[in-house]
Structure 1
């Protein structure tokens, strides 16, 4: 595996960085998924990252969406794309394709929503975050969002953590 990876030998964790770890503003657009950010991993191809996830016991990747007055998963306005190009309708802290964020899984989303805080579509800053842990879908290849055209009312930022893998399968 040729990549610019950080190996933490004491804990046996492999971390793979990319170009979307910092907070990135979602460009204004209106349609579902109209904003696209392809994640570029440092010197590692998706095939190499697939080999890493398959050889590892566990992998995860942290995702965060900060939002105000937007729609997200409930009506399929946003999603992430798996390494194999599949549209995934879930966010960190939930099973793959559950249609929920972590708050929806716990039952404590804003306004009593059953999906995500960012589906509140109100004038309050909210966030949805957690770890994606389905190693058969990781790493995140792309994120897609919409409903951010009416700036400065509608606005969102995303950040995607390093791919973390550990153990042997």
Structure 2
């Protein structure tokens, strides 16, 4: 009779295993298993025709495997790793399948389920533990984890997956380029390649492309792959700053005739480069300060890039004779548009930003009315600053 009971029990368990790939009375093993559900993450390996215990045993051989999603009807084992964004090329079981899926964390299983040489292993995440011919545990490479240590690399290209399998290719891994690829080699490392960082067109472009700006000059390519050579400029945030030969305060004396004094400005880049920078910009400015002692502002002017004389010392030229105080109605005396029109043997000043992007930069500053011993002036002209405005 005892033999008959044993035979019936074995036959009953065989029927259960034939219809369901999960152990008939799993709770007796004490493992934490969530029935009729699955956990989100990235599938690092899918194993067909598996059983629950075999599925978890396989998971424990992979350091990267944190949990499993196991389809009890199909016997399909998904080895999973957590992933916040689910931009994976291999998905997890769909919600339609969830009633047939159990999920279990690897940490809830005792490692003695592995037994043998892989019972305790410390294989890296891009390997799994296998038993070799000498019955020893061996860490076999299965793919590449993480991004290559290459300058100017697009890290996000490698975050699509946690692990890339051998011979898989990551396309366009370089920043700011239209070509390039990285291959996961059989050794579990990325193939050798370089990323050339394409210079920005201006400082606005540099900030958008995460260049470090403001501490040292940077190289820009104002026309992309055009004929103009790359040049060095400074950045003040998104402002492209182009210096010239005389940004210091300059003394003017002994020039009586209008416009007889000439201060020529030579910029650190060519006018062709400046034109290209202006084409990329929405706004440009250049600072002008004129300090006067009995020297009329009306005897001074500046030459724009079109070789035309301009008389406004601030603004965009809407008022061709105005200074900043005239635009703001804040001059030191009534009835004047510039402080240096008062002409009262008191040091006066007119300063502001020229903002006419079409006229800039200043090419020459001209002065006059400084011929007498008591007539004198100073002029200070800042660098050209251009910026592409955010939209």
TM-score (structure 1 length as normaliser): 0.88
Match of 1:55 in 2: 280
Could you give the per-residue CA deviations for residues 13-59 of structure 1, whole angstroms, max 9, x where no partner exists?
Answer: 210111121100114211110101011112x1122212211221111
Task: In structure 2, list runs of 5 or more residues that go unmatched.
Answer: 1-221, 223-229
Give the number of the structure whose alpha-carbon radius of gyration is greater. Answer: 2
Report the equivalent of 1:30.
256
Q: Say yes or no: does 1:81 pair with 2:296.
A: no
- Alignment of 1:64 with 2:289, yes or no, is yes
Contact 2:259 2:368 in 1 (8 A): yes
What residue ranges of structure 1 are gaps of 5+ in the alignment? none
CA contact (8 A) 2:291 2:350 kept: yes
- Structure 1's 106 and 131: CA in aligned 2 closer, same or farther, altered over 3 A? same
RMSD between aligned alpha carbons? 1.8
The aligned residue for residue 154 of structure 1 is 375
CA distance in structure 2 between the aligned counterparts of 1:118 and 1:50, rounded to whole angstroms: 32
Preserved CA contact (<8 Å) 1:113 1:119: no
Q: Distance in 2 between matches of 1:52 and 1:168?
A: 13
1:142 matches 2:364:
yes
CA distance in 2, matches of 1:46, 1:144: 20
Count of matched residue positions in the alignment of Structure 1 and Structure 2? 162
**How has the CA–CA distance of structure 1 residues 19 and 113 changed in structure 2, closer, same or farther, with 3 Å as cutoff?**
farther
Deviations 1:102-138 (A, max 9, x none): 1111222223132210111111001000001111111
Which has the bigger relative contact order, CA under 8 A and spacing at least 6? 1
